[in-house]
Structure 1
Amino acid sequence: MQVVVIIPSRYGSSRFDGKPLATICGKPMIQWVYQQATKADCVASVHVATDDPRIRDAVRGFGGNVVMTSSQCRSGTDRVAEAAQRLRLEMTDVVVNIQGDQPMVDPRCFDAVVKPFYEDPSIKMSTLAFAIVDEREITDPKDVKVTFDNNSDALYFSRATIPFGRDGGGGYDVYKHLGVYAYTHEFLNCFRSLAPGRLEEIEKLEQLRAMEHGHRIRVVVTPYDSPEVDLPIDIARVEEKMRAMGACGKSDRNA
């Protein structure tokens, strides 16, 4: 079993056109995500999956691997699945799917999300959660929340606040879902073939499809947040955090 990271990337976006190539601290955003993934101990290789020559050229420009995929892919998952097939991965290989808009993702997140596959051979899909520290994220529908059972298997994902304290007050953690998934190549193909679910359509959350069809998703809690860049105004916020961490302007061994 090998671990392969595939970053689905498209140029067009109704909210942020050309987002993967937006400059953050002097580098295209997709480059930050790619280079963070290469630092993970568990990762055998990293690839960007795209149908756009501008993204292809940018990735090749910093020495990255690119898999060209169909422009007809309906979702990032479809793009990742097509790339995995083109790479001729074994069915037992683990594919990590991360969007190209998480430039601050910690390399240890990749190691964490694949750990369940080494510990439990029945695991077919996993994802990450982070205990929210910014209270704004608890109620912001942009930040997806997740609840899970005593075995760390997901109970539900929602844009609403879950759990919701009937009597008010705090005293309990609310977990934000981080957009990092891992699946066996075999299950990725299965997931891709499932019919869209009713809850998926309501929440606009693709991961609910797996649960609606009876599949488990193992949730791994990580201490490392991974803020997403959804809109152009988010870039300044992320750059400020990266400067505070000393990342901006710092030499990178993978650059």
Structure 2
Amino acid sequence: MIPARYAASRFPAKLMQDLAGKPVILRTYQAAVHTKLFDEVYVVTDSQVIYDTILREGGLAIMSVKEHDCGSDRIAEAVMQMDVDIIVNVQGDEPFTDRESLEGVMQVFEDDVHKEIDLASLMVKITDEEEIINPNTVKVIVDNRDFALYFSRSPIPYPRAKNKDTVYYKHKGIYAFRKSALMDFQRLPMLQLEATEKIEAIRYLEYGKKIKMVETNVQGIEIDTPEDLKKAQKAWK
């Protein structure tokens, strides 16, 4: 499932911006399809323009019935009547989505024989100081078994001892959910931490869900700003 909202506060209509001759959302959709990991890949959107773009290229798309504030809510509505156990969510602004990363989050559930894990997601180590302090980059800290402790737009952990080698991880916008966790998300109200940080993954933590983080070496480029799009266009070449 690829949630695709037309409006975006930092970069309006970013999903329909041109990336090497095709809209960003189409590049993301095709990247997910080309992994060959799924029987079906859907774009879930509130936009007739995005919906028509995917269908015109022979893809699968679902129009949202209700207005939604986040991708998890949008996907929950789309899969409510589907007979599925695990849903993989790729953000619409991730045109460099790769097979290895998706296999990593799916493997979490293969290994979870007691069904204790509610979600799996990706993190990648970052060292660039500008990226570490950039509020558009969501950071994550984990425990010694790689379960998420917290997500923030601030640099976490804070390096109080400046001589220490602090490791930072960026949260990448790919999730795999148990359907039950996704259904819980859409009926539970937003709490203070999620409202403050504007990070939907925090809602799962606030309600006690277990999020297993999987480290990947694939940096990719998430397109949040016009500058990101320029980087993506250069990388695509």
Q: TM-score range by the shorter chain?
A: over 0.9
Conserved? CA contact 2:37–2:99, under 8 Å = no
Tell me, yes or no, if structure 1 residue 210 matches structure 2 residue 204.
yes
- Deviation per CA, 1:115-157: give whole Å up to 9, x if none: 1100012212111000014332111111011010111100111
Give the AA of the match of 1:46: V
Give distance in 1, aligned partners of 2:30 and 2:184: 29
Correspondence for 2:222? 228
- Determine helix, strand or coil for the equivalent of 1:233: helix
Paired residue total: 235
Contact 1:47 1:67 in 2 (8 A): yes
Q: Structure 1, residues 88-127: CA drift from partner, whole Å, max 9, x if none?
A: 233xx21111211111122221111111100012212111
- Is the 2:141–2:157 contact (alpha carbons within 8 Å) kept by the matching residues of 1? yes
Which of 72, 75, 80 lines up with 1:77 in the alignment? 72
Match among 84, 87, 93 for residue 95 of structure 1: 87
Partners of 2:174 and 2:105 lie apart in 1 by 8
Q: What is the CA-CA distance between 1:197 and the residue it aligns to?
A: 1.6
Instruction: Confirm or deny that 1:113 pairs with 2:105.
Output: yes
5+ residue gaps, structure 1: 1-5, 244-255
User: What is the match of residue 49 of structure 1?
Assistant: 44
Corresponding letter in the other structure for 1:126: A
Q: Aligned AA for 1:12?
A: A
CA shift for structure 1 position 71: 4.2
Secondary structure in 2 matching 1:112:
helix
User: Aligned partners of 1:158, 1:13: CA distance in 2, in Å?
Assistant: 20
Q: Give the % identical residues.
A: 37
Preserved contact between residue 105 and residue 225 of structure 1 (Cα < 8 Å): no
**Number of the residue aligned with 1:149:** 143
**Alignment partners' CA distance in 2, 1:150 and 1:158:** 19
What residue in structure 2 maps to residue 174 of structure 1?
Answer: 168
Contact 2:73 2:185 in 1 (8 A): no
Query: Structure 1 residue runs of 4+, over 4 Å off?
Result: none
Q: Residue by residue, what CA displacement relative to the aligned partner does 1:63-107 show, whole Å, maximum 9, x if unpaired?
A: 110111124223211111111125x233xx211112111111222
Normalised TM-score (structure 2) = 0.93
Q: What's the offset of the Cα at 1:170?
A: 5.0
CA RMSD of aligned residues (A): 1.5
In structure 1, the partner of 2:56 is 61
Normalised to the residue count of structure 1, the TM-score between the two structures is: 0.87
Query: Are the equivalent residues in 2 in contact too, given 1:40–1:111 (CA < 8 A)?
Result: no
Q: 5+ unaligned residues in a row in structure 2: which ranges?
A: none
Q: Which residue of 2 aligns with 1:39?
A: 34
Q: CA contact under 8 A between 1:149 and 1:155: conserved in structure 2? A: yes
Instruction: Output the amino acid matched with 1:184.
Output: R
- Output the amino acid matched with 1:177: H
